[in-house]
Every structure is written in structure tokens, then in C-alpha cells.
A = this chain, B = another copy of it.
Amino acid sequence: MAVTMQDVAREAGVSAKTVSNAVNGTGRMSTETRRRVQDAMARLGYHVNRSAQTLRRGAARMIGLAMPGFGQPFCATYCDNVIAAATRRGYGTAILTYASRADGIEGIIEETHRMDADGWILFSNRPIPSSSPLLAQGCPIVITGDYLSHGRADVVMMPNVEAAAHVTGWLLDRGRTVAFAGAPEQWCDDRGLMDAAMADILRAREAGAAMRLRGYVEEFGRRGLDVDARLVAGSHSMGVDDGIRATERLIERRAGGVALDAIVCANDAVAIGAMTALRRAGLDVPGDVEVTGFDNASAAEYAMPPLTTIDPDIPQYAQLAVDRLIARIDGDESAARTFVTDFRLVERESTR
């Protein structure tokens, strides 16, 4: 049973009002009485309910972080970086997840209001409608996860288009026939990329997989090359299993005569799935097919072979989100901005 203020009062032989005064630093009492209350609190294991205090004082120094869950290797790396960035600024971090909720990230709003966070970093895995109550929080928010906020909240994004174009170009420069695994499934059918999707792809302004595919397509265009639709495989989302299934389709097409010796993957999890599928099919990475990822989560470093990947600077990504949120908490009311991280290509053994 939770120890109450009344229990402490009884133990200390004082009134509940005196305990309340001792806890809140209000009223007047002798040093002796204060010590008696403190001793009673220690003996009974009574702790001040900080949420009650915060309601009165408004000084929680806590950042909330909404995540879908931890299914992606990226998520663990990202959370650790947000926590580290918040710690450096003197803030604690509390994490809520929404993947197991039927109502998704929208449903998490009710939860955010029962925690005493000063502001929230929302990592979204779906587009956020401009009418979403997520954008009408009573506390500051920053959106991460490669979705737009319609100018109503600060956004931190990865350099999705540029980085995907860079790694595609790097492979093309070396004479590879470059496929893409993990494209948004609405743009693909059984044979690959649908012609009708091209205009939408070139307009993509949000969603990691969409923008990375756009970078891939734009790099072909920049070189005056057509994308071979059969080199693109879609997937429902960007998990390891999605990578396995998408790559199995590419492997079938390769067996059917489509030249293909490199795969740009939508992220590291898809790339780990791609390497798993290639290995199961008896193909060597990088000997037969080179594979690249996107995220540089720690899983990329320890994959076998270690994964060549885009490092979108997750520490910077987390720091930008935390710094911007704290600026808002501290009263910055300037217009909402979009921040984009730097990137670099990390060459490891999954490419030659």
C-alpha cells in the first residue's frame, strides 16, 4: 500500500497540515519538527508525489519521447541519443510507445497529458494530417521521423533524398547495376515500380522510404538513365522481414535474367533482411551482390558482413530535436522550422 501523508503525520506525531508544510516548504515549524517529519518519511519510505508538486510549481524538467516501439534497430540507437542529448541539457526523458495502440500516435495524446513532460518529441511513422490534434498540443512539440508538420511545429529530418542519391551515384560510378529494396508498396506491383507512380515519387516531401526512393530515381535521371522498373521492390514497411521479402523478389527477377549486382536498401533493417535473403539464396555479399543501408544504427556495424550504410548523424538528429524543444520550452515563439542533419557514407564490407 502506498504510504500517505496521513501515515507520515501519525508516525511523526504531527498534523497532516504540518507534513504538507514540511514537504512544500510552506508555513512555519521548528527545525526539530521538520527533522521529525523527515525521519518519519524516511522510515516509512514516503516519497513526495512529484506530479502533485509539478502541478503547483510547473518545473518538471522532463522531455517526453513518443516512439512507435523498438522493432527497428534504429529506434534503440535513436532513443539512447535523445536521452543523452536531454541529459546534457539537464532534462530527464520519459518514453511512451504507440505501435501497440489501435489508434496509433494520435491515441498517445491522452497519455501525454497524464505525464508531466515540459514538451514532447514525437517520432512519427505515418503522415500527420494538418488537422491532427497532435499539432494542437498544450505543450511544445518537435516532430521527427521524416513527416511534415504543415508549418505548425518544428521538424527534424534526415537528408533522405540527397543521401540516397549519393549512395546510388557512388554505386553507379563503379559500374554497378543498382536495385532499390523497400520502396513504398503503393508505388509497386508484382513486376516492380509502376510507371504511374513516377510523378508522385518526384514530388515526395515526406516519409523516409519515399524520399530515399526519390533520391534513387533522381540520381538515374541526373545521369540521363531510365530506372528499370524491375530493379525496384516494394514493401509494406521497413523491417527486417520486409527486407527479406522485397529482396526475394529481386532475387527471382535476377534469376529470371535481370542484371543486378547492388541493392540500395531503404534502411539498415531492410539491408539486414536483404543480406539474409541473399545468403539463403546462396549469393555472396558483396561478391555477387553489394548491399547498402541507411541509418548507421549499431546493428549495421555488427552485421555480417558489416554493413556499408548512410550515416545520417543520429547524435546530431537527436540533439537538434532536443535543443529545439528546449528552446520552445524556454519561450521561443519564432516560426516553425525544418532542420536537416548532415550525412556521410560509411564504407564497410557489404560493398567492394
Question: What are 27 A-B pairs with beta-carbon distances under 8 A?
Answer: A1-B333, A2-B139, A45-B133, A45-B136, A45-B137, A45-B138, A47-B110, A47-B138, A49-B55, A49-B114, A51-B51, A51-B54, A51-B55, A51-B113, A69-B79, A70-B75, A92-B111, A94-B111, A94-B115, A95-B95, A114-B116, A115-B115, A240-B298, A273-B302, A276-B302, A299-B299, A304-B305
Q: Is A97 an interface residue (CB 8 A)?
A: yes
Q: Is the CB of B62 within 8 A of A70?
A: no
Chain A residues in the interface with B (C-beta under 8 A): 1-3, 45-55, 60, 62, 69-71, 73, 75-77, 79-80, 83-84, 87, 92-97, 99-101, 109-111, 113-116, 133, 136-139, 240, 272-273, 275-276, 279, 298-299, 302-305, 333
- What residues on B are CB-neighbors of A3 within 8 Å? 138
- What residues on B are CB-neighbors of A97 within 8 Å? 79-80, 83, 93, 95
Q: Is the CB of A80 within 8 A of B69?
A: yes
Tell me the bound Cα distance from A48 to B113 in angstroms: 7
Q: Is the CB of B113 within 8 A of A50?
A: yes
Q: Is the CB of B138 within 8 A of A302?
A: no
How many subunits of this chain does the assembly comprise? 2
Min CB distance A6 to B, Å, is 13
Min CB distance A293 to B, Å, is 12
Tell me the bound Cα distance from A116 to B115 in angstroms: 7
Min CB distance A97 to B, Å, is 5
- What residues on B are CB-neighbors of A95 within 8 Å? 94-97
